[in-house]
Structure 1
């Protein structure tokens, strides 16, 4: 997500404020982009990846449920607190859940290369768009509903490059994957883009022969 909350303060505030936000946003999106490692785990064993993500997701849901119902903290919620924004304190942190479900869906529903394209688009496209948009985005036309041209452009370019590598030089497929990812990322889906991006990109890649 190309986050827009608090972006004005990032650009207009003190340098220390910029670096504080930059540090937190980089940590958030580093973890998001690290999801691309699932591609390498899947090369070794897809069942291992699916079961591992399923167990982690269940543990996270239980931990978040306890936090919201009973209050207090757990090791899980303390780790999540390092990367979630302040606006997420009083509601479930859906990002890790939808991210995990998106990766699992890609490898369960699509052939290997299509699944890799879907996960790469999710990891790099959404991650880079949010990081660049939140820290450096200045041009925000009404059409993008608060998201930035800088974030969307960075999303397109990084997904184009990643797809080009994964398809071994198929520029046409890479272009359409990057364009679709950029379009979805620009929609006001919040954490649910973690599900929509891999499902749509995986389907498109499959239809294009992967």
Structure 2
């Protein structure tokens, strides 16, 4: 017996429309910054990085179905790969270094939605992606603008200022998610500590943009495991 294709109801079309409008606005803004304002490539890319990452909050709030989230991730991954070859979105791939970060970023959405939507724990997917979205995004900007103290891992140039920004923002994003769900408890402020440390290490050790995959999945996994252990 063949399984029926999920019904595309009016409510589902509304959800798709809201997400599409958000993503379209982010991409248009980034393309405008790149083509007309001539903003710095790293700034433009992080506008996309941060703006797109926050779509996970829309997906959580709108209760986007698992299958739709995974399909959207696969489509975004395909577009990212095509963009590396044909420069479909110049603002996304204008950093001037060898990186598949956009592709890994799209894949991470699908992995986290498939994992945590299936067990009705979308908060962990949101946590992992927000750590990556805001932590890595602001770390890159801080490191580029204010990074005076440099270090190198795996031939990748990093700054202590950027890494500190990554740790602080990762802790803040994790704490906000836990605070929103369980209030002002010890777990709210203690569990984000190892999340921030691991996320910062994963970001620092990355090459070719793979941190866009390892940071969100690693952060979400640590949050899930430690929260389960804390609750017993």
Matched-pair contact (CA < 8 Å) for 1:128–1:154: yes
Where does residue 85 of structure 1 map in the other structure?
95
Q: Alpha carbon RMSD of aligned pairs, Å?
A: 2.5
CA deviations 1:162-199 (Å, max 9, x no partner) are 11111014001121211111111111323101111122
| TM-score w.r.t. length of structure 2 | 0.68
Relative to structure 1, the CA distance from residue 108 to residue 22 in structure 2 (aligned partners, 3 Å threshold; closer, same or farther) is: same
Of the two structures, which has the highest relative contact order with CA contacts closer than 8 Å and spacing of 6 or more?
Answer: 1
**Residue 59 in structure 1 maps to residue 79 in structure 2:** yes
| TM-score w.r.t. length of structure 1 | 0.74
- Aligned residues between the structures: 177
1:103 to 97, 106, 109: 109
1:32 to 49, 57, 65: 49
Cα distance between partner residues in 2 of 1:138 and 1:171: 30
* 1:1-210 map, 5 Å: 23-34=40-51, 35-44=53-62, 45-47=64-66, 48-65=68-85, 67=86, 77-81=87-91, 83-88=93-98, 94-110=100-116, 111-141=121-151, 146-168=157-179, 169=184, 170-209=188-227
Name structure 2 gaps, 5 residues minimum: 1-36
Q: For 1:167, what is the secondary structure of its paired residue?
A: helix
Matched-pair contact (CA < 8 Å) for 1:38–1:49: no
